[in-house]
Amino acid sequence: MSSLPNLHALIVGALSLVMLGVWVSGRTPDQQANAAGAVEPEPEVVEPPAPAPPPERERTVVAVKPGDSLARIFKRHGLSARDLLHLATRSGALGERLKDIYPGHELAFERDGSGNLIYLQYSPGRLETVKFERVGEQFEGSKVIIEPDEVPTYKHAVIETSLYLACQRAGLSDGFAERLANIFQWDIDFILDIRAGDEFHVLYHERYIDGQPYRDLGEGDVLAAQVITQGKSYRAVRHEDGAGNVGYYTPGGQNMRKAFLRAPLDFSRISSNFNLKRVHPLWKSAMPHRGIDYAAPTGTRVKAAGDGTIVAVSRNRANGKYIVLQHGRSYSTKYLHLSRFASGIKKGKRVAQGDTIGFVGATGWATGPHLHYEFLVNGVHQNPRTVRLPAGTPIGDAERPNFELASMSLLAELEGYKTRPRLAYADAEQ
Ligand SMILES: [Zn+2]
């Protein structure tokens, strides 16, 4: 709605310019010469001021209040019920939009000199405005859709306690933190791997409307990103192929998506509730295990680490409620101490990577709520955090030239920002 005061300011500005123009051109060259100091006297001609024309269109802007309907607003402003009827029932599908108007949204209308409604517009959001112009008795509807401008934007942050807080400090939303973590979730365990001093660089689309940041739909796409954790660098670049499929790839064209997630837990709840400093010693104490313990609040979503089949959904004294998944011939994963299973989870069912299979709990031999996670290759336990994971599908040969062209330019842009730290930090403070 901020565009309307701007528009108003523009109109006022334009009007005063016009008046200025009239005033300047209303003076004869002699008068101007007088003003410049010439001495020849001249009888002063005072022209009667032109009467101000009645305003042709009087504009009213209304913020929709709780409980408002178009009918109430019309009544409040003395607009005709007949016009209301025409608008709401005879302007086609767009007229329907006026039947549900929501508090906080904006309605604007204009009346002619006699007080008749000649124009009405309603904006259900900043991206859309429906407009109705009077044509005789009726109103003709039209719709304006605004496409926000997308501007490649760079941010950098050093992680002190969590990815969330680092993102917040860089002016990025929680949703963005989750998207960033999801891009790297096959390589980086954002629950256990992240240390104070880790950092990220990201190039993404920030959206703007009329030069103002627009975040109602969150930030735009992540274009390229680098996460540096414990001295290791991971880079990902976004690519959309000719068929519109979007994926993230390493600079060499390997798919970021792999057959297994690095951590089978919904990271968002853990990072927001658990401090890294508390989680870290837990992992150390878990080393003698054949698996990893993730301390997490009861009820935290547990995800299938990879596509597979459920081979066990059961309960015993030691494991409590547990699930075993088989992935192809060689791989299996185990999830122990669950508080409950997700609905529909039963033996023989196929699950996809990321599907919720259960929820963290403290059933069986557990001192507190946590997930005990095991990763086996041909029946042998592996450290899930370091095991080499089977690769996903890389960029295809046909797509490779496009990918290389696009990814090189994105990565070069990211590098360019990184080597201009002052500019980068100024940007981060916007
Ligand atoms: Zn354990």
236-255 pLDDT, tens digit each: 999 998 889 999 999 999 99
Torsion (CA) 374, 377, 383, 389 in degrees, nearest 10: -110
Question: In angstroms, what is the span from residue 283 Cα to ligand 1's centroid?
Answer: 10
Tokens coding 110? 């204009």
How many angstroms is it from 58 CA to the middle of ligand 1?
72
User: How far apart are the CA of 288 and the centre of ligand 1, in A?
Assistant: 9
Selection from 88-97, 155-164, 318-327 with the highest mean pLDDT? 318-327
Q: Is the pLDDT of residue 35 over 60?
A: no
Q: How far is the CA of 321 from the centre of ligand 1 (A)?
A: 13
b/e burial code for range 377-416 (CB count within 10 A of at least 16 → b): eeeeebebeeeebeeeebbeeebeeebeebbeebbeebee
Name the band, by pLDDT with cuts 50, 70 and 90, for residue 7: very low
User: Cα–Cα distance between 348 and 308 in angstroms, integer?
Assistant: 10
pLDDT score recorded for residue 40: 58
* CA 127/CA 130 separation, integer angstroms: 10
**pLDDT digit string, tens, across residues 51-63:** 666 557 899 999 9
pLDDT at 32: 45
Residue 54 pLDDT: 57
- Please list the alpha-helical segments (H only) found in 226-307: 267-273, 276-286
Q: If you measure from the C-alpha of residue 180 to the centroid of ligand 1, how many angstroms do you get, rounded to a whole number?
A: 28
Q: Distance, CA 322 to ligand 1 centroid (Å)?
A: 12
CA of 332 to the centre of ligand 1 (A): 17
Helices and strands per DSSP (H, E), number in the chain: 11, 20
Count other C-beta atoms under 10 Å from residue 321's C-beta.
Answer: 20
Query: Is 267-382 the same fold as 149-258+392-428?
Result: no
Q: Are 188 and 226 in contact, with CB atoms under 8 Å apart? A: no
Q: How far is the CA of 377 from the centre of ligand 1 (A)?
A: 18
What is the residue-averaged pLDDT of the chain?
A: 83
34-48, 114-128, 188-202, 349-363 — most confident range: 349-363
- Residue 282 Cα, ligand 1 centroid: separation in angstroms? 10
Query: Is 70 exceeded by the pLDDT of residue 423?
Result: no
DSSP bridge partners of 158: 199
Sign of CA dihedral 403, 405, 407, 410: negative
Tens digits of per-residue pLDDT, 362-378?
999 888 899 999 999 99
Q: Are residues 310 and 325 in contact, defined by beta-carbon separation less than 8 angstroms?
A: yes
Q: 149-258+392-428: what fold?
A: Nuclear Transport Factor 2; Chain: A, (3.10.450)
pLDDT number for residue 121: 93
pLDDT at 36: 45
Distance 125 CA to ligand 1 centre (A): 49
For residue 280, report the distance from its CA to the centre of ligand 1, in Å: 14
Q: What is the dihedral of CA 77, 82, 83, 89, to 10 degrees?
A: 120
Ligand 1 centroid to 373 CA: how many Å?
7
For 197-243, give the DSSP string: T-EEEEEEEEEEETTEE--TT----EEEEEEEETTEEEEEEEEE-TT
Task: Write the DSSP assignment of 13-65 as a string of letters.
Answer: HHHHHHHHHHHHHHS-HHHHHHHTT-----PPP-PPPPPPPPPS-EEEEEEPP
Residue 25 pLDDT more than 70? no
Mean local confidence (pLDDT), 78-100 = 86
Q: What percent of the residues of the chain are helix, what percent strand, and what percent coil, each to the nearest 5?
A: 25, 30, 40
Taking the domains of the chain in order of start, what are their residue ranges? Answer: 54-146, 149-258+392-428, 267-382
Pick the CATH number of 54-146 from 3.10.450.350, 3.30.565.10, 3.90.1150.10, 3.30.360.10: 3.10.450.350
Band (pLDDT 50/70/90 cuts) for residue 389 is: confident
CA distance 178 to 181: 5
Question: What separation in Å is there between the alpha carbon of 149 and the centre of ligand 1?
Answer: 49
The CA 261 to ligand 1 mean position distance, Å, reads 19
Query: Residue 267 C-alpha to ligand 1 middle, in angstroms?
Result: 18
Which residue's entry shows tokens 């990271």? 267
Query: Can you tell me the distance from the alpha carbon of 295 to that of 156, in angstroms, rounded to the nearest whole number?
Result: 29
Q: In terms of pLDDT, which residue wins out, 262 or 237?
A: 237
- Helix H or strand E segment including 338: strand 331-341
pLDDT tier, 126 (very low <50, low <70, confident <90, very high otherwise)? confident
CA–centroid distance, residue 287 to ligand 1 (Å)? 9
Percent of the chain with pLDDT over 90: 54
Q: How far is the CA of 54 from the centre of ligand 1 (A)?
A: 81
Distance 227 CA to ligand 1 centre (A): 28
CA of 297 to the centre of ligand 1 (A): 15
Measured torsion, CA atoms of residues 188, 191, 194, 199, in degrees rounded to the nearest 10: 70
Three-state SS sequence of 349-378:
CEECCCCEEEEEECCCCCCCCEEEEEEEEC
Distance from the alpha carbon of residue 380 to the mean position of ligand 1, in angstroms: 17
**Mean pLDDT of the region 14-30:** 41
Query: 25: which DSSP letter?
Result: H
Averaged pLDDT for residues 221-240: 96
14 vs 374: CA distance, rounded Å: 71
Residue 16 above 80 pLDDT?
no
Confidence bin at 11 (pLDDT 50/70/90): very low
Cβ neighbours of residue 134 under 8 Å, at least 6 residues apart? 116, 117, 118, 119, 140
pLDDT, tens digit, for every residue of 131-144? 999 998 889 999 99
Higher model confidence: residue 18 or residue 223?
A: 223
Segment among 14-28, 198-212, 232-246 with least mean pLDDT: 14-28
Domain 267-382 CATH superfamily: Glucose Permease (Domain IIA) (2.70.70.10)
Q: What's the 198 CA to ligand 1 centre distance in angstroms?
A: 27
2 by DSSP, 3-state: which? coil
User: What are the backbone dihedrals phi and psi of residue 412, each rounded to the nearest 5 degrees, phi first?
Assistant: -65, -40
DSSP letter at 302 equals: E
pTM exceeds 0.85? no
